[in-house]
Amino acid sequence: MSLFWIFIHHLAEVQTMATSKKLITKQEWEKKLADVKVRKEEMNKLVMNFLVTEGYVEAAEKFRLESGTEPDIDLATITDRMAVKKAVQSGNVVDAIEKVNDLNPEILDTNPQLFFHLQQQRLIELIRDGKVEEALEFAQEELAPRGEENQSFLEELERTVALLAFEDVTNCPVRDLLDISQRLKTASEVNAAILTSQSHEKDPKLPSLLKMLVWAQNQLDEKATYPRINDLSTAALEDPAV
Amino acid sequence: MPTSSASNHSSHPEDLIGRLNSAHTPYEVKLKALRDLKNQIIGNRTKKLAFLKLGAVNSVVSILSSAVVAGGWENREFYELVLVQCAAIIGSFACGLEEGVNAVLDAGAFPLLLNLITHINDKVADAGARSLKLIYQSKRAPEYDFLQEKNMEFLLSLLNSKNENVSGLGANIITHSCQTTLEQNTLSEAGVIERLVGLLRGSLIQRDASLESLASMIYGNPEVASKFLSPENGRALSVVVELIKDKQPRTRMLACMCLIYLRNASTSYLQDSEIKNKLVMILLELLDDPGQVGDEAPFVLSSLISQKEDMQKIAYDADVVDKLCENLNIFSFQPTRLQGTFLALADLCSKLECCRDRVIHLKVFKFVTEALAHDNPHVRSAACYFLRNVSRSVKNLSAGQFMNEAVAAPLVQLLFDSNESVQIAALGAISNVVVDFTAHKSLFMQFGGVKQLVQLSKSMESAIRINAVWALKNLAFLVNNKCKEEILLELTISTLSSLISDPEASVQEQALALVRNLVDGTLNSIDYVFGENGLLLHAIGKQLWSTSKVEVLIQGMYTLSNVASGNELHKEAVMDQLFPKTINDKETVLVMFMQSADSRLRTAAVWALVNLTFPSSPGACGRVTKLQNAGIVCQLKNIVNDPCLDVKLRARTALGQLIMFGDAS
């Protein structure tokens, strides 16, 4: 977050100086940037945070050895979390549920919405595999009671069961449920819940830092002309258009 | 037996439990069955109930206890896996299910789990601590006695643990069991605050647990609040203030709760308008949460605004009333949410007319009618509480907004409720609703309200008697004689006179006030106290001579005052009570009342004098003599310059009337 505040601080300085649009040359800008001190350790932490949150265990391990940055979470738990995520992504929901419960039995007990979504995904997978009878039985035994407990679950359940009513599911109004994106949605919901249970942020910090950079630039655009970063992947400073 | 073949076993509940209970099942198979059971019940209320019926908790607890022993001898690692599964299952049964908590406690799981948290294997300790934490979320968990030194040491060791589940458990125990001021102070003196402040900087689990237990320690305790704010705790307050902006909704809510309890504990903290507005805005946003946080947020909001008109105004300006009314519609199927929402609305409507108007404008009454007949007693009580406060609006009351069929019918039904606190809440609502200026009182009577109120006035429970008589009193306020007669007919003079002599002073007070309302008005209504040989009048007189409760005396004196405004017979009867034959003829309670420190009692006494000595009545002269002999004139002279204007004015009138009959020196 410190990078961002340094930026805001600059912004405020520029604001007080300029009544009309101020021009800042690349040279001036780079000089100002050179005055900004960012500690290497903090940069490393940001990178580690990204690797850990996104689940790149091997990269995180290598980065730890190379940079000496300690991850804020036990790397072994990342492997477990990734295994859960992967199980959902490949449609193996029962396996995923068992793994989550091994990891922390509280997650699904205290998160009825997530539990319902996993069960719903299991139903979707049964329907996908053409196991109609099993799907019906499962919907009745496992999902119907959840629908009784919660109005919005009931609506989602009805939508899912509707898949069984169509001959050609590829062309029905609820076909999106069979999409791979539905699996990804469920997987990321599980991922976020596990991260939260480990006192970890659900999202890496790096993307939000970039978002703040873009926002700050947009603010600054109204007050000044300056070397802008247009391509985030290269972070090249473009010459200000005079 | 290899695990692969174990997976061929049926996972049917009966078979599963059979395998767990059988002495012939190898432990490897039992472990597999335990995992299976765990995965079936987690998140699944229906399955939990089904397995509870099969006695699953007992089976698991007995495996747990034998695994503890067996693991001490051989194959430690294997038995640790069994312990983890058992603890997880027990915790899941206790999670959000009162029946489950009962079964777990009955099966004796509690001491076994306590042993696990000191286990050398962190995973076992984790599992034990998690389970205990879930049990401690229930009110049925055993109370923890902080006053025992050994217990306090153990608690501190929990709070000091590096394991987040164990230290979190320590905080959860405080949240569950810290209730009295003594407990709060004992914990604070043992240095618990410092440790909890330390946990605020820990993991999510530790932070939330710490916030919640800090709140329970600060609640209503200015001493602990100021200790929390003392410099030795560093920037603890600013940490909590930061946390009201946290990403986690639950953390935000608990941090708000902490700050609210701090500001409620003492008027010198957190009173600036910035924090007031912030708290309202954050809670307003949390009301939208679809889950547990949203269920609890209205209760936290209620603690912020209850009894505080300034906070109610800020909440009103932030459209909190609208949001709450909207939620009545969206979350109508969630009992906790309904209860909290009605409570918060009740608080908003306790003082501000603008809130009452808004609620009526938003047409919440259809929800009130439903809530009054809800399955959940807490919802019924909350709806009554809301109705009581919203009907404080004289304007809307006189417009007959509340006494219509949709409200009256279910409200009268609640007088028959099996739950006493619902009955009391309903009586509270009825008391306000029946103070009605239009003809709507008859509607209440039509639904059989009077009959049931009279029944409740004979309740063994004093709180119910008080509220029932209170409601009758308000019902009798400014009604016509027909209504009064109906009330008296149902109540009977003998019941009323025994209520005047009730063991509870508050019941006496309300009963006297009821008589006061009954005799107020026409001459005919005064006759009510003369029925059954003046039973009521004697009961009143007896109280005036025997009780020391000033509230009772005030109501008694006003009742006599009302009676003394009647004809000659009425006035003489009052004199008989003030100068009873059994006591010295020259002594009267009036003298004592006129010397009372309470100006209301002085006023009531002097009012009676004014009525008794009214010059145009034929027997006034005789009464004046009697009063003079008792030294009343002297007493009156003492209070002609009374600081209370009411007393001063009436005393002068009375003195003037006494002087007209001659020697008043």
Using CB atoms, pick whichever of A105, A111, A197 lies closest to residue B91: A105
Using CB atoms, pick whichever of B45, B88, B248 lies closest to residue A105: B88
- Distance of alpha carbon A105 from alpha carbon A99, whole angstroms: 9
Q: How many domains does chain A have?
A: 2
ipTM of the shown complex: 0.78
**The last residue of a domain, from among A164, A182, A197:** A197
Q: Closest Cα to residue B367, out of B351, B348, B390? A: B390
- Distance of alpha carbon A133 from alpha carbon A53, whole angstroms: 39
A80 close to B (CB below 8 A):
no
A52 assigned to some structural domain: no
Q: Nearest chain A Cα to B246, which residue?
A: A201
Report residue B109 as tokens: 């799981």
- Distance of alpha carbon A187 from alpha carbon A86, whole angstroms: 8
Residue B282: left if φ>0, alpha if ψ -120 to 50, beta else—which one? alpha
**Do A181 and A226 sit in the same domain of this protein?**
no
**Do A112 and A92 sit in the same domain of this protein?**
yes
Which residues span the domain enclosing A209?
Answer: 2-47+203-238
For residue A224, the cross-strand partners are A22
- Distance of alpha carbon A116 from alpha carbon A151, whole angstroms: 12
A208 assigned to some structural domain: yes
- Distance of alpha carbon B150 from alpha carbon B157, whole angstroms: 11
Please check whether residue B626 is in contact with residue B579, taking contact to mean a CB–CB distance below 8 angstroms: yes
Tokens 């040279």 identify what position?
Answer: A27
pLDDT at B393: 81
Report residue B179 as tokens: 């209730």
Angle at B433 between CA B429 and CA B434, to 5 degrees: 120
Angle at B224 between CA B222 and CA B228, to 5 degrees: 110
**Do A30 and A119 sit in the same domain of this protein?**
no
- Burial code of B171-183, b = ≥16 C-beta within 10 A, e = fewer? bbbbbbbbeeeeb
State phi, psi for B3 to the nearest 5 degrees.
-65, -25
**Do A102 and A162 sit in the same domain of this protein?**
yes
Q: Closest Cα to residue A187, out of A109, A110, A95, A102? A: A95
pLDDT at A14: 60
Q: Which domains does chain B have, with CATH numbers?
A: 3-142 (1.25.10.10)
- Distance of alpha carbon B175 from alpha carbon B186, whole angstroms: 14
- Distance of alpha carbon B472 from alpha carbon B311, whole angstroms: 34
- Distance of alpha carbon B607 from alpha carbon B605, whole angstroms: 5
Q: Other CB atoms closer than 10 Å to residue B268's CB: what's the count?
A: 11
- How buried is residue B151: exposed, middle or buried, by Cβ count under 10 Å (0-12/13-18/19+)? middle
Report residue A50 as tokens: 């990204």
**Do A140 and A188 sit in the same domain of this protein?**
yes
Report residue B635 as tokens: 């007493």
A113 close to B (CB below 8 A):
yes
For residue A225, the cross-strand partners are A23
Q: A142-171 pLDDT, tens per residue?
A: 898 888 877 788 889 999 998 888 877 778
**Do A212 and A141 sit in the same domain of this protein?**
no
pLDDT at B662: 63
Q: Nearest chain B Cα to A148, which residue?
A: B333
- Distance of alpha carbon B156 from alpha carbon B170, whole angstroms: 8
Listing DSSP states for B538-580 in one string gives: HHHHHHHHH---HHHHHHHHHHHHHHHTS-HHHHHHHHHHHS-
Tokens 């924090």 identify what position?
Answer: B275
Range 9-68 of B in CB contact (< 8 A) with A: 35, 38-39, 42-46
In sequence order, which residues have a C-beta less than 8 Å from that of residue B188 and are 6 or more positions away? B217, B223, B224, B227
**What pLDDT band is residue A13 in, cutting at 50, 70 and 90?**
low
**Do A120 and A189 sit in the same domain of this protein?**
yes
Q: Kindly state the average pLDDT of the residues A212-221.
A: 93
Test B247 with A108 for CB contact under 8 angstroms: no
Using CB atoms, pick whichever of A109, A113, A149 lies closest to residue B95: A109
Give chain B positions within 8 Å (CB) of A109: 42-43, 91-92, 95-96, 134
Tell me how close the Cα of A11 comes to any Cα of chain B, in angstroms. 24
Interface test mutation site (partner A, options B46, B89, B201, max chain A beta carbons within 10 A): B46
pLDDT at A64: 93
Using CB atoms, pick whichever of A105, A113, A201 lies closest to residue B92: A105
Test B134 with A199 for CB contact under 8 angstroms: no
- Distance of alpha carbon B69 from alpha carbon B665, whole angstroms: 97
A109 close to B (CB below 8 A):
yes
A53 assigned to some structural domain: no
Please check whether residue B136 is in contact with residue B178, taking contact to mean a CB–CB distance below 8 angstroms: no
pLDDT at B589: 84
Report residue B69 as tokens: 């022993």
**Do A176 and A80 sit in the same domain of this protein?**
yes
Angle at B165 between CA B159 and CA B166, to 5 degrees: 40
A144 assigned to some structural domain: yes
**Do A141 and A164 sit in the same domain of this protein?**
yes
Q: Closest Cα to residue B257, out of B242, B238, B244, B271? A: B244
A61 assigned to some structural domain: no
Give chain B positions within 8 Å (CB) of A101: 38-39, 42, 88
Pairing of strands A22-23, A224-225: parallel
Q: Closest Cα to residue B403, out of B486, B474, B497? A: B474
Angle at B565 between CA B593 and CA B493, to 5 degrees: 85
Q: Nearest chain A Cα to B94, which residue?
A: A109
Chains A, B: CB contacts under 8 A, how many? 56
A231 assigned to some structural domain: yes
Q: Kindly state the average pLDDT of the residues A220-233.
A: 89
A115 close to B (CB below 8 A):
yes
Indicate the DSSP class of residue A224.
E
Q: Other CB atoms closer than 10 Å to residue B383's CB: what's the count?
A: 33
**Do A182 and A221 sit in the same domain of this protein?**
no
For residue A23, the cross-strand partners are A225
Q: Other CB atoms closer than 10 Å to residue B75's CB: what's the count?
A: 11
Please check whether residue A85 is in contact with residue A191, taking contact to mean a CB–CB distance below 8 angstroms: yes
SS3 label, residue B210: helix
Pairing of strands A224-225, A228-229: unpaired
3-state helix, strand, coil in chain A (%, to 5): 70, 5, 25
A220 assigned to some structural domain: yes
**To the nearest whole number, what is the mean pLDDT of chain A?**
87
3-state helix, strand, coil in chain B (%, to 5): 75, 0, 25
Averages of pLDDT over runs of 10 residues in chain B (665 residues) are 46 88 88 95 93 96 90 82 96 93 95 92 93 93 91 94 92 95 95 94 92 96 92 85 93 96 88 93 95 94 95 96 92 89 96 92 89 94 94 77 78 90 92 73 80 91 92 86 86 91 93 92 83 88 89 94 90 88 72 91 93 86 87 88 90 88 56
- Distance of alpha carbon B514 from alpha carbon B474, whole angstroms: 8
Give chain A positions within 8 Å (CB) of B88: 101, 105
Using CB atoms, pick whichever of B39, B95, B207 lies closest to residue A97: B39
B201 close to A (CB below 8 A):
no
Give chain A positions within 8 Å (CB) of B12: none
A72 close to B (CB below 8 A):
no
State phi, psi for B478 to the nearest 5 degrees.
50, 45
A106 close to B (CB below 8 A):
yes
pLDDT at B3: 38
Give chain B positions within 8 Å (CB) of A105: 38, 42, 88, 91-92, 127, 130
Listing DSSP states for A86-123 in one string gives: HHHHTT-HHHHHHHHHHH-THHHHS-HHHHHHHHHHHH
A140 close to B (CB below 8 A):
no
State phi, psi for B353 to the nearest 5 degrees.
-65, -35
**Do A221 and A176 sit in the same domain of this protein?**
no
Interface test mutation site (partner B, options A77, A84, A106, max chain B beta carbons within 10 A): A106
Test A112 with B43 for CB contact under 8 angstroms: yes
Tell me how close the Cα of B206 comes to any Cα of chain A, in angstroms. 9
H-type alpha helices, B287-404: 292-305, 309-317, 320-330, 335-348, 353-361, 365-372, 377-390, 394-398
Give chain A positions within 8 Å (CB) of B248: 196
For residue B45, the cross-strand partners are none
**What pLDDT band is residue A3 in, cutting at 50, 70 and 90?**
low
A113 assigned to some structural domain: yes
**Do A172 and A78 sit in the same domain of this protein?**
yes
SS3 label, residue B73: coil
Test B95 with A108 for CB contact under 8 angstroms: no
Using CB atoms, pick whichever of B35, B203, B333 lies closest to residue A151: B333
H-type alpha helices, B476-522: 481-491, 493-500, 505-519
Q: A166-177 pLDDT, tens per residue?
A: 877 778 888 889
